[in-house]
Structure 1
Amino acid sequence: MPGTASTAELVELLSVSLASYYGDFTTAAAGEGLTASQGKTLTVLRRESAAMRSLATTLACDASNMTGIIDRLEKRELVRREASLTDRRVKIVVITDEGARTMDAIRARMHTTLTGLDALSAEDRGTLFELLERVFVKTPSTA
């Protein structure tokens, strides 16, 4: 019943939900010729350009692995490296227009996720958005 779920039950449901989401995402990314890690990198960069080290931290991977991921994305012209305006030794990774189009294509291929979300009413989608934002998105006032 609504309002009676324990924290443990919510964690379990989040685990099941995220497994389904990531399976859908991985399949969709593969359909665009990308690994899940490459797709996740584009997802992060779609929100904000980032330094290589910051990307490695965000994606919880080794910096040398991040270099390989970016090299492969750059070869496909999905990202580009730019020198930082404040420290020319630091490389900032920026998603290209082609990278953004590829992310749109990945999202469009996520049929399981899209079908599930489309089954919700507009009100339920709004509520889900507000709840997820409250739990996972840290704003300056809540950080």
Structure 2
Amino acid sequence: MTRRDPLDLEVITALGELTTRFFADYDAAAGVHGLSGAQARLLALVVTEPRPMSRLAVGLRCEPSNVTGLVDRLEKRGLVERRVAAQDRRVKLIAPTDAGTELSARVWADLNFAAEPLRGLEHPERLQLRDLLRKMSPNRAD
């Protein structure tokens, strides 16, 4: 059995605690606007670009059938719409409506998670943190 470096364990634990805190605050901010956390996260994903449900399932780390239910509920509220993909008419893209874009922005504005801990860092420290997180992200192209 390989032992982890104690510093690695400390960093991993801190990241886990921050992630837990982020999702709790995100769920609370979403709830203020009558959304579940999953609905708000889906809305945030499609605000950046319309996406097919299969990509939403990957982004939300859930089963495609769960995404269908989330989209149905958001669509009933007039927050998202299904569009035909230009490159393949069989593919339906989920896109935000103007109301969905506005609501997603309000949820993000109500998100207190980042404000408190980041306030304690100087600008150069925030830049360094951003750069380190980018370096750690497997999905970054830079």
TM bin (shorter chain): 0.7 to 0.9
Alpha-carbon RMSD: 1.8
Alignment of 1:15 with 2:16, yes or no, is yes
| Counterpart Cα distance in 1 of 2:119 and 2:97 | 29
User: What TM-score comes out, normalization by structure 2 length?
Assistant: 0.87
| Counterpart Cα distance in 2 of 1:47 and 1:132 | 20
Counterpart residue number, 1:67: 68
| Counterpart Cα distance in 2 of 1:108 and 1:119 | 19
Matched residue count = 138
Report the AA paired with residue 100 of structure 1: T
| Counterpart Cα distance in 2 of 1:114 and 1:41 | 22
| Counterpart Cα distance in 1 of 2:141 and 2:118 | 28
Q: By how many angstroms is 1:106 displaced? A: 1.1
Counterpart residue number, 2:94: 93
Give the % identical residues. 31
User: What TM-score comes out, normalization by structure 1 length?
Assistant: 0.87
| Counterpart Cα distance in 1 of 2:15 and 2:8 | 10
Counterpart residue number, 2:27: 26
Q: Deviations over 1:66-123 (max 9, x none)?
A: 1110011111222111001122111001122222221221122122431222232111
Flag structure 1 segments of 5+ consecutive residues without an equivalent. none
